[in-house]
Structure 1
Amino acid sequence: MSGPQDVDRDQDRVRAAAFRLVSAGGGAPVAPEAVAAALDPPVAELGLADADDVLLAAVHWSHRRIARRFFDLTAGRLGLAALRAGLADLLPLDPDRVEETVLELAVWHRALVATKVAENNRREREDLSVIVRGILRDARDGGELIDDADVDTIAADVLALIDGLGIHVLLYPDRMPPAAAARALTTELDRITRPGPITGTG
């Protein structure tokens, strides 16, 4: 008889397989049967009714991987130092993050017409927004932000910037290579950072 750990392990294998298949197909729809065929040993109950469920399983696995990196990168950092490290990791600057961004594009496209995907996307985005707003509040309370900085507005702006930069890196790499995207993010974070005191040399 299988226990909770076995079920969790099977779910993780299903989600990982879904991620691999959706990523390999550039975000194209993947049927549950394809996920089942990719699993060795097989899993008795996939819990996937259709291609949207496969997409959401892939997203769940991807976002968990992103979250692990995010918290590893921000561990021991506070305020804007944490924000700079965490947000830079969301840009598609290496093969793993390119895969993750391609998956996000597939989710956004499908969310336009599929309620289930749209609702999940809104929840996931709000979870990320909560984290970013929390870090920004720490930065504001620590005196790191410019005067009259509105945390909610800044959070929305930087997340929109991340999305836009990611799309441009993937679609227009000649005009927006990864290094340029990283500089654009740094420039925006510099813009909201309170200038340090000017020290004289004389």
Structure 2
Amino acid sequence: MKLNPGVVKSIILLVIASSLLMLPGLELPYFDKKADNYFSESITKAGVAYGVCRIVNASVSVIKESQVQIEPAGIGVSLAAGQILDPLDDMTERASDILITSIVSLGIQKIAFELCVAFAPPLIGFAILILLGVSFIKGDKTKSIRVMTLKLIIILAAARLCLPVSSMVNAYLQKSYFSPQINKAKDELTMSSPELERLKEMSFPETDGVLKTMK
């Protein structure tokens, strides 16, 4: 006895739809684990970086208020030495704003990911049931309904897989491209640190003013 291919197809779709409806929050273990780890690590790193920026910004704000008293040629002059840190202050402010935007964006993506995990499977199952129902009815209207339902299924499936796949791509780029560049920059800074230490150790001879030095 030969089974009708259309009947077999309908039975398979019915089983898939029933499984999706009975298992809300159905997860894809590998993809979802990677996505969850990516969002958690990214939000944590962005939060730590934001905290560091705020600490640096607060420290710079205190140092900016400092003044240095010098006496060239016996004349007292007060210099606001902290003002040279204005570029660093502006940089930390902008970095803080960027990090806040990143944290909010990651939080929204995390919420969207959780919503897709919870609601996409039952919605896809319901759409499959609609597709099965209209497949037994002939007519132009049912044809347009089938096309719309099929598009809806594709959109829901893409939404379900979009964030996990994009998080895996971002993690791969971070590991393969950005991390080596960051490590290279750190190594270059480390190599230049001895020169900076020697510069810090330089000292100038003490004088009692220009006139007394010339005597």
Indicate whether the TM-score tops 0.5. no
The higher radius of gyration belongs to 2
Q: TM-score, normalised to structure 2's length? A: 0.27
Higher relative contact order (CA 8 A, sep 6+): 2
More helix by share: 2
